Amino acid sequence: MDTDNKLTKNNTPSTAATKKSAKTFRERAYDVAMAILHPMAKVVERTSLVPTTPFLDLATFSWIRRMEDNWRDVRSEMEGMLAYRDALPAFHEINGDATDIRNDDWKSFFFYGFGKRIETNCQRCPKTAALIAQVPGMTTAFFSILLPGARLPPHRGPWKGFLRYHLGLLVPEPAQSCRIVVGGQVAHWQEGRSLLFDDTYEHDVENNTSGIRVVLFMDIVRPCRFWGRLANHLVIRGAALTPFVRDSMGRHKAWERRFAALQGHC
């Protein structure tokens, strides 16, 4: 008999069985999808045209200099939206199916999600939106806001075909108490400076200060040779058709309506 189906002495399900049964159909479907993607991720890794290390050299992409040169414009628009901090959605409220992280102290303001443009937010921050639109291979972009004391536990991104970019916009003091660890390597954000890393390495984030940390967060497509590019194209196009992505966009549209109503009353 499968031990997951055995009962304990007090006739209650075992811990393993409880965890197993607690998974929804959608969660199981997500797990299956990740298993299917594993061999394709290996193709992407083998054909990558850039290093597969935890952190990448900022000189890898020429557009990073343009982002840093214009960071004050981005920060100015970010500060305008930060005035509505309490009304901004937590990341998991938008992207709930694709993350195990549930933290109300991690707020988001999306410009693009899964390649889909959030028109109203781009109109609210036109200079930021124009900069983002010039980044080759950009699929997701948002202001990532960590409130004081927030910590995101160790986790991994699901797909090797992306690289993650952070542009520091608001970094509280002491800066050494606000950090990210990727593959065991520690880094600290600096205002107006960038970080570029592979989020499939285990990473965690901590804002152990009394201030707010904000970065412009982007996922970009990893440059690869032909077979890797093909795998990336198929996965990204396929993901856009899944109920996970459609539901995330639906949740964001619902937030947009609430936010527009709030602004109308201000």
Q: Within 10 Å of residue 15's Cβ, how many Cβ atoms?
A: 10
Spans of the chain, pLDDT less than 70: 1-36, 96-100, 264-266
Helices (H) and strands (E) in the chain, counts: 9, 10
- The stretches of the chain forming alpha helices (DSSP H) are 15-22, 25-47, 63-69, 71-82, 91-94, 119-124, 126-133, 226-240, 243-264
pLDDT at residue number 17: 46
State the number of CA atoms in the 13 A half-sphere of 109 facing the CB.
Answer: 28
**What's at 112, amino acid-wise?**
Y
> What pLDDT is stored for residue 237 in this prediction?
87
pLDDT at residue number 103: 87
Assign a CATH topology to domain 51-264: Jelly Rolls (2.60.120)
For residues 79 and 147, is the Cβ–Cβ distance under 8 A? no
pLDDT, residue 5, reads 41
The residue written with tokens 């459609």 in the block is: 246
pLDDT of residue 228: 95
In 10 A of CB 195, how many CB atoms? 19
* Those residues with Cβ within 8 angstroms of residue 119's Cβ, 6 or more apart along the chain or in another chain: none
Helix (H, G, I), strand (E, B) or coil at 186: strand
CB-hemisphere CA count at 13 Å for 151?
A: 7
Q: Could you tell me the pTM of the whole model?
A: 0.86
Whether 81 contacts 214, CB under 8 Å: no
138-146: strand order across its sheet: 116-117, 106-113, 138-146, 213-221, 162-170, 194-197
CA dist 232 and 46 (Å) reads 13
pLDDT of residue 245: 84
